[in-house]
Copies of this chain bind each other. A is one copy, B any other.
Amino acid sequence: MAEARVEVLRRLARRGANPQLQRALQKSRPVDIAAALGHLPPSEQRRLFLLLPVSEETAEVLFRLDQRDLEPLVRQLPFDRLVKLLDLMEPDDEADVIERLPLELKDKVLAAIQKEDKVLVEDILAWPEDSAGGIMQPIAFRLREDSTCRDAIAALHDQQDRLENIFYVYVENEDEQLVGVTSLRALLSHPPATPLKDIMTVDLIKVSPLDDQEEVARIASRYDLLAVPVVDENLHLVGIVTIDDVIDVIKEEALEDMMLMAGVPDEPDPHAGGIFKAARQRFTWLLVTLFGGIGMAEVIGIFENALAKQAILAGFIPVMLGTGGNVGIQAATVAVRNIAMGTDANTPLLSAVFRETRVGLLLGLGFATALGAYSLLRWWDTPLIGLAIANSILATVVVAAGVGTLVPLTLHRLSIDPAVATGPFVTTTIDLIAVLIYFTTAVAVLGL
């Protein structure tokens, strides 16, 4: 559905069919217009964007644009139009867009936006980007505890322009400290004269502005909250983190984990800094592979004479490394998943490792049988090759399963993100172990 609308907009824009385009734009949602803009060359982006009215919807288009499209567009846009659009945004979205503006525009814009917004935006920008303060909306619907349901509904009418979404009604005492929360539904379903303090929940879940956004998302999803209040050290309500931001955080963190697992630094656009920057960042991680590889070359070098006598041993290096690596990654992934789901919370470390090692033993026996049979049939005259291969693969797989489980669980206990466990570092370690096991076993069995 969304794709079709985006495609229609893109085609009309490219054809330069302004009247039809304008009609199509009126029927489109901001996120789809932003996606269509992403498909256009800069000059056409500008033309399409200028067809849009100065409205809250157009402001949201700006907010929804990818970094890659936002930069060239804002540079081409008349400055006062940009400022007018920013003035129409909620402070949290406004701060997000201003944060992403090119440096030379940022200060000019901050000086030009409405004064009351400016204070709020600067407050948000002052917090770390990935903290509760950095993603919160600095406005909330709040009332004194002695207000009645009737007062609350009246206040709602008055303030509705200012408040984008009202998920909860926050209740403060006379020192402006957050003391309770209630819902719109509760306002409507109690007699109008009921004071808020009689219907509010006092057992509040709240976060502080410096809490990590991931922690805020975890709390919101654990307790099924539509908004989490952010309070400072004096218990003053400074803002709320809303469910739509929570979803963005959850999606962001999942991608971040995935990138971490592959050893690619997570950036808004991995190609933004050009291919040199991309190559440099990835190379840092790959250095582990490089040094590990040189280490393995040295280890194998020790067995040069054995290899010269039985060159065929070299042929099994790949299967030893590949199997060890994949079994290790599988074990690590299961461990990371169990940590994420909380399934292993009450399993002692050693029993989890022991359990995975037994899975490894079964897998190892399977591999030993298959590879042993293959080697036996292939090198019928040297049956010891089969024995050497079978023994090494068994040992490698068991060790890989154990290490693959132990590392993420240990990292988690040390409060390090366990997702790094499937990255190059652990894989290379397992590779080194596999090569050592393989050659020592082969040399011992074959008497080389």
Please list the residues of chain A having a beta carbon within 8 angstroms of any beta carbon in chain B: 1-2, 27, 29, 31, 35, 38-39, 66, 68, 153, 156-157, 160, 166, 184-185, 188-189, 203, 219, 221-224, 226, 243-244, 246-248, 250-251, 254-255, 257-259, 261-264, 266, 269-271, 275-276, 278-279, 282-283, 285-286, 289-290, 292-294, 296-301, 304-305, 307-308, 311-323, 325-327, 329-330, 332-334, 336-338, 340-343, 345-346, 355, 358-359, 362-363, 366-367, 370-371, 374, 422, 424, 427-428, 431, 435
Contacts of A334 on B, CB cut-off 8 Å? Answer: 259, 264, 270
Do B203 and A27 touch across chains, with their CB atoms under 8 A apart? Answer: yes
Instruction: Tell me, in angstroms, the Cα distance from A316 to B283 when the chains sit together.
Output: 19
Instruction: Tell me, in angstroms, the Cα distance from A299 to B362 when the chains sit together.
Output: 28
User: In the complex, what residue of chain B is closest to A39 when comparing beta carbons?
Assistant: B346
Do A301 and B290 touch across chains, with their CB atoms under 8 A apart? Answer: no
If A270-B334, A286-B326, A292-B318 are given as contacts, then 9 extra A-B residue pairs at C-beta distance below 8 Å, sorted by A number, are: A27-B203, A264-B333, A289-B326, A290-B367, A290-B371, A292-B322, A297-B318, A300-B318, A311-B311
Given A188-B156, A301-B312, A308-B311, check contact A431 B271 (CB 8 Å): no
Do A311 and B318 touch across chains, with their CB atoms under 8 A apart? Answer: no
Do B282 and A330 touch across chains, with their CB atoms under 8 A apart? Answer: yes
Contacts of A359 on B, CB cut-off 8 Å? Answer: 275, 278-279, 282
Contacts of A343 on B, CB cut-off 8 Å? Answer: 66, 68, 269
Most buried by B among A68, A270, A279, A311: A311
User: In the complex, what residue of chain B is closest to A288 when comparing beta carbons?
Assistant: B326
Do B222 and A31 touch across chains, with their CB atoms under 8 A apart? Answer: yes
Given A157-B189, A275-B359, A297-B318, check contact A323 B223 (CB 8 Å): no
Do B35 and A342 touch across chains, with their CB atoms under 8 A apart? Answer: yes
Contacts of A318 on B, CB cut-off 8 Å? Answer: 292-293, 296-297, 300, 317, 321, 431, 435
Do B315 and A297 touch across chains, with their CB atoms under 8 A apart? Answer: yes
Q: Give the Cβ gap from A165 to chain B, nearest Cβ, in Å.
A: 8
Contacts of A157 on B, CB cut-off 8 Å? Answer: 188-189
Instruction: Tell me, in angstroms, the Cα distance from A251 to B293 when the chains sit together.
Output: 36
Contacts of A333 on B, CB cut-off 8 Å? Answer: 258-259, 261-262, 264
The quantity of this chain's copies bound in the complex is 2
Most buried by B among A184, A259, A330, A371: A330
Most buried by B among A276, A318, A428: A318
Instruction: Tell me, in angstroms, the Cα distance from A264 to B276 when the chains sit together.
Output: 35
In the complex, which of the residues B222, B255, B259, B301 contacts A2, with contact meaning CB atoms closer than 8 Å?
B222
Most buried by B among A68, A271, A293: A293
11 A–B pairs (Cβ distance < 8 Å), ordered by A = A39-B345, A66-B342, A156-B185, A157-B189, A224-B244, A226-B243, A269-B343, A270-B337, A285-B326, A296-B315, A307-B311
Q: Give the Cβ gap from A427 to chain B, nearest Cβ, in Å.
A: 7
Do B203 and A221 touch across chains, with their CB atoms under 8 A apart? Answer: no
Do B221 and A251 touch across chains, with their CB atoms under 8 A apart? Answer: yes
Contacts of A68 on B, CB cut-off 8 Å? Answer: 343
Main secondary structure of the interface of A (DSSP, over half): helix
Do A323 and B289 touch across chains, with their CB atoms under 8 A apart? Answer: yes
Do A346 and B296 touch across chains, with their CB atoms under 8 A apart? Answer: no
Do A315 and B290 touch across chains, with their CB atoms under 8 A apart? Answer: no
In the complex, which of the residues B279, B290, B312 contacts A323, with contact meaning CB atoms closer than 8 Å?
B290
Do A321 and B321 touch across chains, with their CB atoms under 8 A apart? Answer: yes
Do A255 and B319 touch across chains, with their CB atoms under 8 A apart? Answer: no
Contacts of A362 on B, CB cut-off 8 Å? Answer: 275-276, 279, 283
User: In the complex, what residue of chain B is closest to A187 when comparing beta carbons?
Assistant: B188
Q: Give the Cβ gap from A295 to chain B, nearest Cβ, in Å.
A: 9
Contacts of A305 on B, CB cut-off 8 Å? Answer: 311
User: In the complex, what residue of chain B is closest to A203 when comparing beta carbons?
Assistant: B27
Q: Give the Cβ gap from A346 to chain B, nearest Cβ, in Å.
A: 4
Instruction: Tell me, in angstroms, the Cα distance from A237 to B289 when the chains sit together.
Output: 56
Do B263 and A330 touch across chains, with their CB atoms under 8 A apart? Answer: yes
Contacts of A156 on B, CB cut-off 8 Å? Answer: 185, 188-189
Q: Give the Cβ gap from A84 to chain B, nearest Cβ, in Å.
A: 23
Contacts of A2 on B, CB cut-off 8 Å? Answer: 219, 222
